[in-house]
Chains A and B, each alone.
Chain A
Amino acid sequence: MPENPTDLPPFARSWTQLYAIVIGSLAVEISLFYLLMHWLS
């Protein structure tokens, strides 16, 4: 099964960048949750 570079979405230049986006999104979500919790308590 070939690994096709065109499989990448337009906003990512490499798979490494895409992995960083996924992990970065998790970090942002956790930070936002933390801020939301403090704002509402």
Chain B
Amino acid sequence: MSVIDWSVLVFALAGIIIYGLIRSRGSRSMDDYLLAGQSLPWYHVGLSVMATQASAVTFLSAPGQGFSDGMRFVQFYFGLPLAMVVLSITFVPIFHKLKIYTAYEYLESRFDFRVRTLTAGLFLLQRGLSTGLSIYAPAIILSTILGWNIYWTNLLMGGIVLVYTVTGGTKAISYTHLQQMAVVTFAMALAGFLTVKMLPEGVGFVDALHVAGEAGRMNLIDLKFDPNSRYNLWSGLIGGFFLQLSYFGTDQSQVGRYLTGESIGQSRLGLLMNGLLKVPMQFLILLVGVLVFVFYQYNPSPTFFNKQETDRLKESPYASAYQLAEIKHQNLTTQRQKAVMDMQVALKTDNEDAQNTAGSVLRETDEALKQVKTDVTNLIKKNNPSADTNDVNYVFLRFVLDYLPHGLIGLLIAVIFSASMGSIASAYNSLASTTVVDIYKRLIKDDSDDAHYLNVSRWATVGWGVFCIVVAQFANRLGSMIEAVNILGSLFYGVILGVFVVAFYVKSIGGRATFWSAIISEVLVVISWYLDLTAFLWLNVIGCLLVVGIAWILQKVIPRPA
């Protein structure tokens, strides 16, 4: 990175943090600190909800997925607008009217203390671990590509968030979310625009889409119902709906965001804004990845984007095998460039036969290139069994560093930091509020004044910040980071959602049945995942239905207490 990039990075991050701290001065009570005094308008709520969900991996992995797997990942978000509507109708009015700090408080008034504590505990376990991953995921990529020390990068990534989260609380988080979303949107739009501008003369945006379509990257909708396929319309609509409903309805990092709305209506509007914007936003992020793919059809692409691993390979006993793979890759790239030029001519002259021929060469070379990549990946694994071979995470950043102008590189690194800070800040805040409200105030000390709880909230934020940074330091390589985070979520969210579904909709079921049902269901979900019985998105549906079904049976079997 050049001096300009460093200046842009430092200026963007310092600006966001200082602005957030200035706007959040005066948090004097626990209500201010944890819920921003329930005073925020809908656009604050909406942007805060979006910034919390869009972590750094969204901007690193998603373009990489667009590049290697096409647009089909967008289907994952189809359940989100439906979940926003259900939340607006059911969850928001109840949470607001009860004047609660955390979603789990409601469970005690509906069931009993045990269900509240169990659900809060499951949340703390899941969120604490996944926040560690959220710190580690971008840190490992930045450290690999930019040569930064991973431990210091983890510390920087998780540490600077603590500064404004501890001092400014929820208000600082919400104000910084606004700035973060502005930086992210501007930089990603600029990156997409410049990628199209860098295509050869005469190749426009529509031509790029055609090339992507012929290479099978515009695979937006898969109508086939296959429970083992990760992304299709049905897993997105049904599995995605359950995952998003669990995430937004029962994960305190999100509940804490929309409880800051100044009224039920403002909270609802914020969620519905998210419902309207999320799918188009994810479409555009994936499209940037697809455009990067098209760019590499006209330009030489690396065999493997994680350069650190190929450099190691060059110095290993597998160097000659790697060299052969490189030669094969270069030949195929030349064939691909010729095919894409032929495709261009065919499109301009509207020659359908030539278009089909070029399209089939393009697909064949693409398959052959994927095979070369698999061979290189196997060599890397042989050379270094602990190597990070998931290249998806490195595609976008490698492209940014190799081709985008100085200044924008710094801005895009700022995007990764901003997105990371946005989701980590909400996570710290939610971990602290659940610890203080559901554990400390409920179990340890329930008779102190507001100043005491405010102080404990600050210390809880510090404690969780340190815990998450420690998790990040010990995180192993986990494949595609965005999937690792979603898989971890799917192990717990379905069960937590099931508890809330029983609470809201099945009034005849009591606390004891729900408590034991949640424990049995969690064990069964973990077994299903361990035995790889189904794609991970369905674990949300299974977990939720198991809780409801088992609780219903237990309610019939367990005698009611006298």
Contact = CB atoms under 8 A, between A and B. Distances in A.
Nearest to A32: B220
Interface in A1-35: 1-9, 15, 18-19, 21-23, 25-26, 29-30, 33-34
Interface centre among A1, A23, A26 (most CB of B within 10 A): A1
B548 to A, nearest CB: 24
Contacts of B85: 19, 22-23
Contacts of B218: 36-37, 40-41
A15 B283 CA distance: 27
Interface stretch (B56-64, B88-96, B369-377): B88-96
Contact of B220 (A3, A9, A15, A37): A37
B78 A26 contact: yes
Interface centre among B212, B213, B216 (most CB of A within 10 A): B213
Contacts of A34: 220-221
B272 A37 contact: no
9 contacts: A1-B264, A4-B265, A7-B268, A9-B269, A23-B81, A23-B85, A26-B279, A33-B74, A40-B210
B81 A37 contact: no
Contacts of B276: 21-22, 25
Interface in B192-223: 209-210, 212-214, 216, 218-221
A29 B77 CA distance: 12
Interface of A: 1-9, 15, 18-19, 21-23, 25-26, 29-30, 33-34, 36-37, 39-41
Contact of B212 (A19, A21, A30, A40): A40
A30 B272 CA distance: 18
Nearest to A33: B220
B268 A30 contact: no
A7 B269 contact: yes
A17 B212 CA distance: 37
A23 B89 CA distance: 14
B84 interface: yes
Given A3-B265, A22-B84, A33-B74, 11 more contacts: A1-B263, A1-B264, A3-B264, A5-B265, A9-B269, A23-B81, A23-B82, A26-B279, A36-B220, A37-B213, A40-B218
B239 interface: no
Contacts of B53: none
B550 to A, nearest CB: 31
Q: How large is the interface on B (under 10, 10 to 19, 20 to 34, 35 or more residues)?
A: 35 or more
Contact of B82 (A6, A9, A26): A26
A19 B84 CA distance: 9
Interface string B248-269: 0000000000000001111011
Contact of B279 (A1, A29, A36): A29
A33 B214 CA distance: 16
B445 interface: no
A37 to B, nearest CB: 5
B263 A3 contact: yes
The 6 closest A-B pairs by CB, nearest first: A7-B265, A40-B213, A33-B220, A1-B96, A26-B81, A3-B264
Interface of B: 38, 42, 71, 74, 78, 81-82, 84-85, 88-89, 93, 96-97, 99, 209-210, 212-214, 216, 218-221, 233, 263-266, 268-269, 272, 275-276, 279-280, 283
Contacts of B93: 3
A8 B266 CA distance: 9
B278 to A, nearest CB: 10
A5 B269 CA distance: 12
Nearest to A19: B85
Nearest to B84: A22
Nearest to A3: B264
Contacts of B212: 40
Nearest to A7: B265
Contacts of A1: 38, 96-97, 99, 263-264
A25 B279 CA distance: 10
Nearest to A39: B213
A3 B521 CA distance: 36
Nearest to A27: B81
Contacts of B283: 29, 33
B105 to A, nearest CB: 15
B221 A33 contact: yes
Contacts of B220: 33-34, 36-37
Interface centre among B210, B214, B216, B263 (most CB of A within 10 A): B263
A13 B504 CA distance: 27
A27 to B, nearest CB: 10
B280 A29 contact: yes
B154 to A, nearest CB: 37
A2 B82 contact: no
Nearest to B209: A40
B263 A2 contact: yes
B285 to A, nearest CB: 15
Contacts of B266: 7
Contacts of A9: 269
Given A1-B38, A15-B268, A37-B220, A30 B78 contact: yes
A4 B263 CA distance: 7
Nearest to A34: B221
A7 B96 CA distance: 15
A4 B258 CA distance: 16
Contact of A8 (B74, B78, B265): B265
Contact of B272 (A4, A6, A22, A39): A22
